[in-house]
Amino acid sequence: MNLFIRSLLLLLVSCTSIVHAADTGWLRNAQNSHAEVRLRSASHGADAQILLDIRLENGWKTYWRSPGEGGVAPEIRWQTPASNATWYWPAPARFDVSGLTTQGYKGNITLPIELEEVSDKKLAGTLTLSTCSDVCILTDFPFTLDLDQQAAPDFARDYAQAMGQIPAESGLTDQLDVSNVNGELQIRAQRQGGWTKPELFFDYPQGSMLAAPQITVKGDILSARVAITDEWGEAAPDLRGKTLSLVVVDAGIAQQTSVIIGAQPLVSDSTSQTLWSVIWVALLGGLILNLMPCVLPVLAIKLSGLVQQQGQSRRQTRQQFLASSAGILFSFLLLAALMTGLRLSGQALGWGIQFQSSGFLLVMVLVMFFFTASLFDLLHFRLPSGLNTRLATQGGSGLLGHFGQGAFATLLATPCSAPFLGTAVAYALTAPLPQLWLLFAALGIGMSLPWLLVAALPGLARCLPRPGRWMVHLRTLLGLLMLLATFWLVTLLIPHWGESFAMVLGGVLLLVLCGWLIQRRALQQAGVVFITLTLVGAVFLMTRIEPEEETLYWQPLTEAAINQALEQDKRVFVDVTADWCITCKVNKSRVLNQPDVRAALKADDVVLLRGDWTQPDPAIGEFLRKRDRVAIPFNQIYGPALPHGHILSPLLSREAVISTLSEAKK
């Protein structure tokens, strides 16, 4: 019996299929304390299996076989013969840093490698590993593997687990097609049962770079558009007929696929349908703009116009409101012309960006001051005498004045971003120029709809009480509102020319207005103006100093800061604001300064990033453009559960901020 057992053991030892293993242990490099690697191996006759274990410090990442627009994939340079090495890659993640898209891994990752026909049991080589955080480090790890060493008992299990993470060749999509159409890749994938949260990762065809895919899902169909450029980021190469290797991931399942790129459009071109839908959105956004908080001075203009309608004929009322509507439409077309010029010159585009110009602000201060004087009955807008004879109203205000009311009402409304407005403007600024003009015209028509309603039904203007002394008091109130708006515009000059200039300009305007009123013997109005502005100025100076215990720790907004926070499993609250954005100030007062919201924003794992767009900043403009936004306020929340970010409504609510922050937490 003993002889039989010994013979059996000898036979097993001499069997060529016996498994041997090697383990380098964890390798470190003194020049890179953020990563360590280990190689383990088992041989099966002439073949060998290797497990490359990579352990990264929190906040660091390495790269997939196709790193993307930056980075280097892990690579082994063999010093001893190791022919036919096949690497297997788990599905990666996508990282966007400073406008660059990369594909890779963070945390701990294991890469299986197969070697065929290994002629030497003593393997030696150098692993080159690229690791990145705020900076990138290229590190070499020399190693040796002795395949004659005793096998590790857990190697087979670990190798099976690692291979289980490798994307399969089928099992996710029922059909997958890719085409190269008009300088972009169009991808259409069908999956029975629908999609949850699909992602696509690409091996870049030679000579090309592929942007992050824009994915839409409708039922069982996934559609994606991928912008193509050459390796220099310039003209798109023709990829038709070439093979695209890609990985599709959804709900924990990954599939590796190779597809011949065709030329047949796969994503339906619904441009005309989209255009009509955006036109309706533009009409609605323009209409809602009338209800935004920044239109308080605009409301003063409108109410002043209504007051002047008392005792006039229906025809005169219709003419005046049509003139105001024409002023609104003209002003929107003027904005379209401004945007067209900026686009052709390659400058930044955005809603309300004219308030970044000190020259524009100064002109608007003077215009608002003249409107204020008009409401205090110190100044009247009249047409030239020839036209005034035919078109002037009984109240002495010609149609030119009503036209000007509409035009400047629009310019004053642009610091606000209403719901639907940002969508329409973002589409317009990236659409062909004829569509840009069409959509800005639709915005103008939408904002002028209330005025057009009165023009169509002039009897609405007669719903006010009969003329009387109340009209004088109302005009005084409206004049004060307009004057406050004027001095608000003066404060917007502070970032450009300093507080001293703003105080001098404000003081001069106040003295001129009070002197003008005194000259007209309107002493009571002059006193009201002086007292009101003195009180408002005191309040303004007090609000300039925020209590220390109420401050939030805001950091500068950058893409790198967002990615760094996400790599540390933190949540991010993004706030893009400006001094001239009234909706931003309303959001701050009504939502961000509320105790429950501030408590949520002060959580240890929440990073606050703020971009100030008061003055032109190309980086902020690019940040908004990448998110298809051109208007502020802009707020977005990121987190472990929201890696791609969730964009909030322009008008914030406490519930939305708190619930989205909670949703973003892992």
Average pLDDT over every residue of 26-44: 90
**Within this chain, do residues 484 and 576 fall inside the same structural domain, yes or no?**
no
* Residue 4 in domain: no
Residue-level pLDDT at 10: 39
Instruction: Tell me the pairing of strands 571-577 and 606-612.
Output: parallel
Question: Higher model confidence: residue 221 or residue 468?
Answer: 221
* 351, 425 contact by CB (below 8 A): yes
Tell me which residue range forms the domain holding 102. 19-164
Stretch among 233-247, 281-295, 362-376, 454-468 having the lowest mean pLDDT: 454-468
* Residue 370 in domain: yes
Residue-level pLDDT at 272: 46
Average pLDDT over every residue of 372-377: 72
Q: How far apart are CA 209 and CA 228, in angstroms?
A: 6
**Within this chain, do residues 28 and 149 fall inside the same structural domain, yes or no?**
yes
Using DSSP's 3-state secondary structure scheme, residue 647 falls into strand
Residue-level pLDDT at 265: 78
* Residue 170 in domain: no
Residue-level pLDDT at 39: 93
Average pLDDT over every residue of 127-135: 89
**Within this chain, do residues 214 and 311 fall inside the same structural domain, yes or no?**
no
What pLDDT, in 10s, does the model give residues 602-621? 999 999 999 998 887 888 88
* Residue 265 in domain: no
Stretch among 158-162, 205-209, 258-262, 351-355 having the lowest mean pLDDT: 351-355
Residue 124, domain CATH: 2.60.40.1250
* Residue 3 in domain: no
**Within this chain, do residues 487 and 511 fall inside the same structural domain, yes or no?**
yes
Last residue in a domain, options 525, 543, 561: 543
Residue-level pLDDT at 296: 55
Using DSSP's 3-state secondary structure scheme, residue 175 falls into strand
Percent of the chain with pLDDT strictly greater than 70: 74
* Residue 89 in domain: yes
What pLDDT, in 10s, does the model give residues 493-517? 887 787 788 888 888 887 887 777 7
Closest to 85 in 3D by CA, of 47, 38, 54:
47
pLDDT of residue 657 exceeding 90, the answer is: yes
pLDDT of residue 416 exceeding 70, the answer is: no
Average pLDDT over every residue of 192-217: 87
Q: State both tokens at 154.
A: 């857990």
What pLDDT, in 10s, does the model give residues 73-101? 999 998 876 667 899 999 999 887 666 78
Average pLDDT over every residue of 204-220: 85
pLDDT of residue 425 exceeding 80, the answer is: no
pLDDT of residue 230 exceeding 60, the answer is: yes
**Within this chain, do residues 382 and 408 fall inside the same structural domain, yes or no?**
yes
Average pLDDT over every residue of 165-185: 88
Residue-level pLDDT at 2: 47
Q: How far apart are CA 512 and CA 501, in angstroms?
A: 16
How high does pLDDT run on average in the chain?
78
Side-chain-facing half-sphere of 479: CA atoms under 13 Å: 24
Residue-level pLDDT at 430: 58
**Within this chain, do residues 329 and 392 fall inside the same structural domain, yes or no?**
yes
Question: Higher model confidence: residue 543 or residue 639?
Answer: 639
**Within this chain, do residues 474 and 595 fall inside the same structural domain, yes or no?**
no
**Within this chain, do residues 319 and 334 fall inside the same structural domain, yes or no?**
yes
Residue 626, domain CATH: 3.40.30.10
> Looking at the 3D structure of the chain, how many domains does it have?
4
**Within this chain, do residues 520 and 621 fall inside the same structural domain, yes or no?**
no
Residue-level pLDDT at 306: 61
Residue-level pLDDT at 11: 39
**Within this chain, do residues 147 and 282 fall inside the same structural domain, yes or no?**
no
Closest to 383 in 3D by CA, of 368, 369, 355, 402:
402
**Within this chain, do residues 278 and 249 fall inside the same structural domain, yes or no?**
no
Last residue in a domain, options 113, 140, 164: 164
Residue-level pLDDT at 200: 93
Q: Sheet with 634-639: list strands edge to edge.
A: 554-556, 606-612, 571-577, 634-639, 642-647
Question: Higher model confidence: residue 542 or residue 642?
Answer: 642
pLDDT tier at 293 (50, 70, 90 boundaries)?
low
Cα 71 off chain centre by: 25
Last residue in a domain, options 164, 184, 208: 164
* Residue 325 in domain: yes
| Number of residues assigned to the chain | 666
- For the stretch 356-384, what's the b/e string if a residue is b when 16 or more beta carbons lie within 10 angstroms of its beta carbon? beeebbbebbebbbbbbbbbbebeebebe
pLDDT of residue 65 exceeding 80, the answer is: yes
pLDDT of residue 418 exceeding 60, the answer is: no
* Residue 10 in domain: no
**Within this chain, do residues 466 and 345 fall inside the same structural domain, yes or no?**
yes
